[in-house]
Amino acid sequence: MATLKEERQAWEHKESAYQASLMETQKAAEAANLKLHEAGQKLADLLGSLAPLRAEVAKLRVVAETSKALGKKLNEVEGELAAKTEALSLLQSDHDKSQAEGNKLQVEKEFLEKQLAAKVSEIGELEKANRDLLNDMIDTFDEGFKEALAQTTCENPGINTSNCDPGNHIVDGKVVALDLGERTTLSRLLSCL
């Protein structure tokens, strides 16, 4: 019986560890989602700024044909466009990495949730087996007590067994009811139910 309690305590400890691990995984997933959202915002901002720059480059190309000074400005804008395109590429790479990390954390979270559900189910099965075992022990004790009374009556006809009960014990040579404050084997078994 002590082993089942120890197993139950071990399972409860494991369940607590799984819960903590699950919480950490959820926090990490939330942090990854926040990074993903921020990268998405930066990506949207850069995409929004590219269209006007491209339009400006097109206009400057037309004007550059007539003016060398405007040609220099066109080169500057093209350099800026190239730098922003590079930044956009880096942000897209970060975005993809964050998305992959978020997906990985989600899979890990689902795995841990399944493990936790299996352990909870296993604990329930062990508790049921423990209750069944205790019920069997009590039934066996009760049957053994009844059989002992029957044998006593058979061997000693006319003996008074009316005070005999599994809930009684002998004190100073008399059969008396168990004191409810007394922790006997039977009362311990009954309290486990």
Is residue 35 a part of any domain in this protein?
yes
Rounded mean pLDDT, 46-56: 79
Is residue 157 a part of any domain in this protein?
no
The pLDDT of residue 127 is: 92
Over pLDDT 70: what percentage of the chain?
A: 90
Over pLDDT 90: what percentage of the chain?
A: 13
Total domain count, the chain: 1
Is residue 17 a part of any domain in this protein?
yes
Q: How confident is the model at residue 188 (pLDDT cuts 50, 70, 90)?
A: low
Q: Note the pLDDT tens digit of each residue in 130-177.
A: 999 989 998 898 899 899 989 989 999 988 888 888 888 888 988 888
Is residue 94 a part of any domain in this protein?
yes
Q: How confident is the model at residue 186 (pLDDT cuts 50, 70, 90)?
A: low
Domain span holding position 79: 2-126
Is residue 75 a part of any domain in this protein?
yes
Rounded mean pLDDT, 123-128: 92
Q: Note the pLDDT tens digit of each residue in 57-108.
A: 778 777 766 777 667 788 888 888 888 888 888 888 988 888 888 899 899 9
> How many angstroms separate the CA atoms of 163 and 168, rounded?
8
Is residue 178 a part of any domain in this protein?
no
Q: Note the pLDDT tens digit of each residue in 13-42.
A: 888 888 888 899 999 888 888 898 988 888
Is residue 31 a part of any domain in this protein?
yes
Is residue 60 a part of any domain in this protein?
yes
CATH code of the domain covering residue 62: 1.10.287
